[in-house]
Structure 1
Amino acid sequence: MESHDFSSDIIYEILTRSSMETVGRCRLLSKECNRITYDSIFTNLHNQRTNTISGYFMQSMMSNIFYSSFVSIDSTTWRSYPKLSLNFLPDRVEIQGSTNQGILLCRTHHPRYYVCKPTTKQWRRIPNPKTRYHTLATGMIVIRSNPLHYQIVRFSQPRPRCHDKEFYQYYWVRCELFDSKTWTWKQLDEVKLQNHETLSRKPAVSVSGSLHWLTWVENNIIAFHVSKESYSMFSLPLSVSEDYKGKDIELVEYMGKLAVTCIGEDESSMELWVMENYGKTEWNKRYKINFEALRRKEPDTRPAAFYNADIVLMKQYDHRVTFFNFKNGNIDRLSLENNVNHGCFRFQSDFEPSDLTGGFALKHPQGKRGIRKSKRRKSLTKYSIGQLGFRQFFALTSSKSFLILLLAFSFFLLCFRFLDSHIIVVED
């Protein structure tokens, strides 16, 4: 028994010093590992030992201008966390998607699309999708961290097809997929929904390699399976669908699983339903959480996301958010500059530079469009060569002009050495 406890302690110590990617893999191997690594004590200790920051970008919009504020429970506990912002980007942006690897997808009003890593202030402009089609929903998922490989899915509204009778019998959605390996957008088959349905504009929830959104009317869930480039639809738990139709339902991620929260009729409690078996879409009511004490001070409080197994992020409409530990009752409030009315984006990141091109610049240093070579080089990450790794530096210096100058310099150096050695031989 003692040896088993000793082994568990060693594993725990190793995990608290492991990278986010390693911890993520271990969670898939063991239920016990999944349980302990989502515990509040573990997440705080892991963030300290690995210099990882965890929190949320809270987004608001006023007068058609987007604002974002980063909030973290770390700011109320063990350290003074860095004030993350998106001010390093060349334009004011709207956050369109986030990942647990510290990569954000942003869009400007123009529009232009950027991927960025706020902790290192790196950014890269990516090609635009078909922006003449109105965006309905966007999501981003990281396939692999090292080397970085990510994909972006964008749903948009197609133009009316007047001579197509079936077009008016369903709600059709265009689907485009961006892959960092090819650095291009690819149009996929259109998604067909019931005529009265539409997609929620809230941020996508990434679970089990798929991106998920609620639909507005029937409160169904649409899942886009990235590896298969396909989608599926499934229902909420039956009691949630019948009792809470159109009422205070949030799609969330809980301990690596897809979950939904719904506010009770008394508005002083909420239910947490978790999809225990993703392949079979089996739901289980995990908790009924009472937050009556919180509502006495914050009547408009609503759940936004789960920080870990114990803490839920609650948002209000008066420039404040609350980290509520529903197991011990602890409350940490944070004030924001603006109301949270346009999305809550989960963010977890280290402070190591990443190759945001996903290796594409290394394989194709000039891209596919020669006309825009200079513009693409300007959109590369803005930081000094001393901060770059070898791969990033090589990507910056592998243009034709640089190689020609390098060859010319090498040629003159060889000539100089030849003449120098020849003169020495003559003198002897």
Structure 2
Amino acid sequence: MKGKKEEKEDSKSSSSSLTLPGDAIWYEILSYVTLDDLLQRCRWVCRDWKYLTYDSTFKRLHSQRTQSFSGYLIQYLKKDENYPVLNYGTSFISSVAAYPSSISLDFLPNSADVIIRVEATSNQAQGLVCCLTYEPVLDHIPRYYVCKPLTRQWTQIPTPITHDLTKRMAIVIKKSHPLHYKIIRLSWSSMKTRQIFHYEIFDSKNWEWTTILKVWIDDPKEMLSFDVEKRNWSLYSLPRSQEEVKEAIIGDIKISLLPQEKVEVNCDLHVVNCEGNLGVLYHVSRLWMELWVMEDYLNKTWKKKFRVRLEPLKQIVGEYFVLAMDSMDMMLLQNGDKLISYNYTNGILTQVMKIEDLNICNPIFQFNSDNVDCYLGPPPKEYSTEEEKKENQEQGIILA
């Protein structure tokens, strides 16, 4: 289903090209490596190891042997007459198994009586989730939590300083042992023709939010990038405008249509994390897809990976929406009330789950996690006695 040969410009980018007969010993060894080491170290040893870690067969075996999880966290709107405001449901979807996971957020305080909205997840091995809860009727300030669903651990964190509407949040793991993480919050307000963005950072070391800066955006067609360490921002130009992609593909679409068919050409844009690379996915009228990845972050240059015909997919499932993409050959789609995993290199469709009246709340969160306990709470005070030291150790607290 790749279409013409020239439509795929970089065949080596696909993990399906990986052959392992001579590397069987590495395949076996790496399948037992901890998820943290696999994602942060092994993946960057060489290109073949990186492709291997994204191979679906390998990920399934590694997940079984290390009791880890790889997939997505999705939120959807639930119809509930008892809730006068929007209510959310949450599901964890494995990318290596064709069934819903049993992981949930039901261990959070008063989870049955409050509305839980996920704000961010870490795509690293620690599997952290940042979410807020609020009463369905009472207009109270929401409470923010950081939790680890696989070990059912949680802690409440301070409320952000700025109360403007949250645009996006992210979690960055700085250190595993002891755990050190930062949460970046981007909120926004509008002033006539300008959008004003506010950056805040929560640091688990000092257990407080810091307001970093304000950003004024005049052109919404550029990509905003924030450097957590340098605490500055920059704008990235997109690889192509949506109009340019439409013009490049519209001729091919018209050629492939039957004489009586008419299609309104539109182009959707998705920012994706594809095999660890920043990517931009252009989706044209559900008939073509084009992927670009950031090739050089220093010079901000993009490289087109492929253009793929999706007409056979549309003929099978009808209308659909692209939700996520984490490898060069796999996508997560929504078709009505069904979530579908689609491998566009071999055309295999797998129904992941079905939810009545499914209404997905973007974004879809990529989510990895091991099952190792970690201390999420505020930094402990320096102990001065053996009793305080023992108490900290019993709580799993390790001082840096």
- TM-score, scaled to structure 2: 0.76
Determine which structure has more spread, i.e. the larger CA radius of gyration: 1
Residue 177 (1) aligns with residue 177 (2) = no
Opposite residue 26 of structure 2, the aligned amino acid is I
Distance 1:306 1:66 in 2: 23
The match for 1:59 among 60, 69, 75 is 75
Is the 1:244–1:262 Cα contact (8 Å) retained in structure 2?
Answer: no
Opposite residue 59 of structure 1, the aligned amino acid is Q
Aligned residue pairs: how many?
A: 334
Unaligned runs of 5+ residues in structure 2 are 1-19, 79-84, 135-140, 248-265, 384-390
The match for 1:232 among 226, 234, 243 is 234
Residue 312 (1) aligns with residue 331 (2) = yes
Unaligned runs of 5+ residues in structure 1 are 161-167, 198-216, 366-388, 399-428
Opposite residue 142 of structure 2, the aligned amino acid is P
Q: 3-state SS of the aligned residue for 1:32?
A: helix
Distance 2:334 2:394 in 1: 39
- Pairs within 5 Å for 1:144-155: 144-155=175-186
Distance change (3 Å), C-alpha of 1:158 and 1:295 = closer
Residue deviations 1:343-393, cap 9 Å, x none?
Answer: 311111122212113xx433369xxxxxxxxxxxxxxxxxxxxxxx97462
- Pairs within 5 Å for 1:282-321: 282-316=301-335, 318-321=336-339
Residue 123 (1) aligns with residue 154 (2) = yes
Residue 98 (1) aligns with residue 114 (2) = no
Is the 1:275–1:281 Cα contact (8 Å) retained in structure 2?
Answer: yes
Distance 1:353 1:46 in 2: 19
The structure that is strand-richer by fraction is 2
| Cross-structure match for 1:411 | none
The alignment yields a C-alpha RMSD, in angstroms, of: 2.8
Structure 1 residue 122: Cα displacement: 0.8
Return the structure number with greater relative CO, CA threshold 8 A, min gap 6: 2
The match for 1:70 among 76, 87, 92 is 92
Q: 3-state SS of the aligned residue for 2:51?
A: helix
Distance change (3 Å), C-alpha of 1:158 and 1:249 = closer
Q: 3-state SS of the aligned residue for 1:18?
A: coil
Residue 11 (1) aligns with residue 26 (2) = yes
The match for 1:22 among 37, 42, 52 is 37
Is the 1:40–1:310 Cα contact (8 Å) retained in structure 2?
Answer: no
The match for 1:362 among 380, 396, 399 is 380
The match for 1:243 among 236, 242, 245 is 245
Residue 323 (1) aligns with residue 323 (2) = no
The match for 2:297 among 278, 292, 306 is 278
Residue deviations 1:155-201, cap 9 Å, x none?
Answer: 223697xxxxxxx774322211101111110111211211xx5xxxx
Is the 2:190–2:196 Cα contact (8 Å) retained in structure 1?
Answer: no
Distance 1:73 1:133 in 2: 34
Distance 1:40 1:248 in 2: 27
Distance 1:158 1:343 in 2: 20
The structure that is helix-richer by fraction is 1
Distance 1:331 1:304 in 2: 15
Distance change (3 Å), C-alpha of 1:394 and 1:239 = closer
Residue 342 (1) aligns with residue 400 (2) = no
Deviates more, 1:27-36 or 1:173-182: 27-36
Structure 1 residue 6: Cα displacement: 8.4
Distance change (3 Å), C-alpha of 1:271 and 1:354 = same
Distance change (3 Å), C-alpha of 1:6 and 1:351 = same
| Cross-structure match for 2:133 | 108
Is the 1:319–1:340 Cα contact (8 Å) retained in structure 2?
Answer: no
Opposite residue 189 of structure 1, the aligned amino acid is L
Is the 1:362–1:391 Cα contact (8 Å) retained in structure 2?
Answer: no
Distance 1:275 1:159 in 2: 30
Is the 2:94–2:101 Cα contact (8 Å) retained in structure 1?
Answer: no
| Cross-structure match for 2:284 | 264
Distance 2:193 2:284 in 1: 35
- Percent of aligned positions that are identical: 32
Is the 2:226–2:233 Cα contact (8 Å) retained in structure 1?
Answer: yes
Structure 1 residue 241: Cα displacement: 6.2
| Cross-structure match for 1:384 | none
Residue deviations 1:192-227, cap 9 Å, x none?
Answer: 211xx5xxxxxxxxxxxxxxxxxxx42x21111111
Residue deviations 1:125-149, cap 9 Å, x none?
Answer: 0011125333222222222223221
Q: 3-state SS of the aligned residue for 2:42?
A: helix
